[in-house]
Structure formats: C-alpha cells, structure tokens
Amino acid sequence: MEGKINQAIKDALESAPKRKFVESVDIAFTIRDVDLKNPNNRIKEEIRLPSGRGRVLKIAMFASGEAATKAKTAGIHVITPQEIEDLGGNKGKAKKLANAYDFFLSEVPHMGLIGRYLGVVLGPRGKMPRPVPPTLDPAIIAAGLQSTVVVKSGDKMTFQISCGTVAQSHEELRANVMEVYNRVTSKLERGVGNIRSLYIKTTMGPAQSVEVIN
C-alpha cells in the first residue's frame, strides 16, 4: 500500500492547479462493515505527524494571571475568564472564535464554566479546551499541538484528514500520510479489509484514488 499511496501523493501534487493560497494535502477514507451507531466502533485519534502540519496553527487559551502571561509569551491568544459568559450570550461571536482557532487550552478551574457557556459551540466542532495543570507550561502543550491532527469518524463512513500542505516535500507528506493511514487501519477490526475506498487530494485539486485490494 505504501507504494500506491506514494504514487497518489505524487499525482495529487502534480495535478493540483496553482492557487494563491497554500493548499492542504488530505487523505479521505470510506470504511465499510463497521457499525458506527455503536460509539465504541467510532474512530477518534490524535496523531502527531512526523513532518508537522506544514503551517502554523492558531491556539487560544482561557487563562488569567501567571498562566495568561506564560501563554502570551508562547504566542498563544488569551481569553480571560470574564469573557466566557459574554461569549456564551453571543452565539455568533462564539462561533467566530471557535472557527478562528485550531485548538483551545484552559486553566483547570475554568473548564466547568466553558462547558456551561461554550460547550454547545466548541463541543460539536471537537474543540473543547485541553486542561492545563498549574505545574505545566502551556507552551509545551501548544508546541505538541502544532504537529497534531485529530481523526474523527463520528457516525459517518467517510471522513477526511489533513496530512500537511503542498509547501512540504514529497517525502514529508509521505511520512505524514502513512502515519495517519497506519493509525486508522490499526483501529479497524479487519484493517485494510474495512476500507471501501481511499483517496489523496489537495484542498481544491482532483482526488487520486488508491487501489484497495481486500
């Protein structure tokens, strides 16, 4: 499969029209014979890409005091606890915030308040904050998240994951795509036998099919 995936990446990059923005390179799975109505069968994985995401992710943190200072120093956008209730009362503003950042962090004491006021917006987007213990520098967590992708099938047989960007080298993309492919298939009972179809594509480029032989 690695050879086929490698060729599909090459074809996707070569066939992608030139854009005025940096496109992502995605892998799309359609799985079969998996009962996704059962939450235990759904795929939900956080994967560290060996070659990174190919872009700088935007991270925000709900914090105050010393934690807020550390976050700002690390280039993390800070949202004060006082803003949480205000955001909860303005759904449009809350949605805009949720869409503006890739990941959220929070000091532990604010988690309940965030769940109460912002859970309805952040939860469905898979962006509920990661709690940061007082002994841990948020910069460390943020650094790890810069190379992290979240794979979520939910109850859908088809799901897509960004594995990098066209700005990365072919070898970097190959390493990233294979990491995602191997992790997803390892979570399927029959491995590749549970994959109906597999595609590699850039954001707006044509999808390149990867032959799956079961």
- Residue 21 sits in a domain whose CATH number is 3.30.190.20
Predicted confidence at residue 212, as pLDDT, reads 87
The neighbouring-strand residues paired with 165 are 24
- 54: alpha, beta or left? (left if phi > 0; alpha if psi -120 to 50): left
Same domain (yes/no): 73, 127: yes
Domain containing 34 equals 2-54+149-210
Sheet with strand 208-210: strands edge to edge: 158-165, 24-31, 195-202, 208-210
Predicted confidence at residue 24, as pLDDT, reads 94
Same domain (yes/no): 44, 64: no
Predicted confidence at residue 2, as pLDDT, reads 86
Same domain (yes/no): 104, 41: no
Residues 31 and 156 sit within 8 Å (Cβ to Cβ): no
Same domain (yes/no): 64, 101: yes
> pTM for this one?
0.84
Predicted confidence at residue 141, as pLDDT, reads 94
Q: Give the domain-ending residue among 96, 129, 145.
A: 145
Same domain (yes/no): 63, 167: no
Q: Which of 204, 181, 206 is nearest to 192 (CA)?
A: 181
Q: Give the domain-ending residue among 102, 119, 145.
A: 145
Same domain (yes/no): 38, 109: no
CA–CA dist 60, 51 (Å, integer) = 23
CA triple 149-150-153, angle to 5 deg: 140
Q: What is the CATH number of the domain that holds 73?
A: 3.40.50.790
Q: Give the domain-ending residue among 129, 145, 161.
A: 145
Same domain (yes/no): 153, 50: yes
Domains: count for the chain: 2
CA–CA dist 161, 177 (Å, integer) = 9
- Phi, psi for residue 48 in degrees, rounded to 5: -85, 120
Predicted confidence at residue 214, as pLDDT, reads 60
Predicted confidence at residue 49, as pLDDT, reads 96
**What is the mean pLDDT, run by run of 10 residues, along the chain of 214 residues?**
92 88 94 93 93 94 94 95 90 93 96 94 92 93 93 92 94 96 94 95 93 78
Same domain (yes/no): 68, 137: yes
Same domain (yes/no): 121, 71: yes
For the stretch 134-192, pLDDT in tens is 999 999 999 999 999 999 998 999 999 999 999 999 999 999 999 999 999 999 999 99
